[in-house]
Amino acid sequence: MASDPVHLAYPNESAGYREARNELLDAEIDLRRRIEHVAALRRALPPGGAPPQDYVFERTDAHGRPEQVKLSELFEDHPTIILYSFMYGPERDLPCNGCTHILDALDGTARHANQVLPLYIVARSPLVRLEAWGRVRGWRFFRFLSAEGNSYTSDYFGNTTGVSDAMRTERGYQPGENWDQPVFNVFTKRDGTVRHSWGTELVYVAEEPGQNHRAVDMVDPLWNLLDMTPEGRGTDWFPKVWYD
């Protein structure tokens, strides 16, 4: 019969603490397995649908000049790209504070991710506005795309205008009321054909009781950090764009 695994022992911990901690450790091991299982399911998805058009975005070229670029051209020599829909549409005076805190953290990650695949930050605001905000925040490694002149954001649910009438009714969205959403979309290019691979549909799934801010948790270090603590992420605090 296999013996119980050897575990850590922190200074002066009680037997009751260790029993509860070992039970939690078993749950953490199970969660680790489930995370990998979900990642495997994501990798095993069949090819998604081709985009309805080869969207034309605006970006800054290598010489700092604005240029038009098609979705199919964003891949460069990579088979996969990720686009994050940034909640900074032209109707907003300031970007979403939730998006801003995520991008504050992801800018450093982008330095490394861009070695593997291009990561783009896209919004409906003009390019100069997006890049100006990036300078204000001190972001150094993002590639911004303006979707000001195309329907990418609504087609791929970076705002609620593309949501079906049935979902609007189910979610209680009011007629004519729309807003942007924090959505990641992954696209692939195989044999010259661009296809959608995966998107963060959890953004549009109703939260269960006691859940908060979990739609893009997989890349959000803030909420995961707070989840390590006895207080957790709570329900009455949310990150701000600026602090005193």
Ranges 1-15, 120-134, 157-171, most confident: 120-134
pTM of the model: 0.94
Q: How far apart are CA 190 and CA 120, in angstroms?
A: 19
What mean pLDDT do residues 15-26 have? 96
Q: What is the pLDDT of residue 233?
A: 87
What mean pLDDT do residues 133-141 have? 97
pLDDT in tens, 200-229: 999 998 888 877 777 888 899 999 999 999
Q: How far apart are CA 141 and CA 111, in angstroms?
A: 5
Which of 4-8, 115-119, 135-139, 184-188 has the lowest average pLDDT?
A: 4-8
- Taking CB atoms within 8 Å and a gap of at least 24, the contacts of 125-130 are 125/88, 125/89, 125/90, 125/92, 126/58, 126/90, 127/58, 127/59, 127/60, 127/66, 129/88, 129/90, 130/86, 130/88
What mean pLDDT do residues 53-76 have? 96
Q: Pairing mode, if any, of strands 66-70 and 119-123?
A: unpaired
What mean pLDDT do residues 180-187 have? 96
Outline where 162-240 has alpha helix (H). 165-171, 221-226
Which of 29-43, 101-115, 208-222 has the lowest average pLDDT?
A: 208-222
pLDDT at 3 over 80: no
Q: How far apart are CA 81 and CA 76, in angstroms?
A: 9
Q: What is the pLDDT of residue 214?
A: 79
pLDDT at 48 over 60: yes
Name the pLDDT band for 2 (thresholds 50, 70, 90).
low
Q: What is the pLDDT of residue 1?
A: 54
Q: Which amino acid is at 194?
A: V
Assign 175 to helix, strand or coil: coil
DSSP 159: B
Strand order in the sheet with 56-60: 66-70, 56-60, 143-146, 119-123, 80-85, 183-190, 193-199
DSSP 57-102: EEEE-TTS-EEEEEGGGTTTT-SEEEEEE-S--TT-SS--HHHHHH
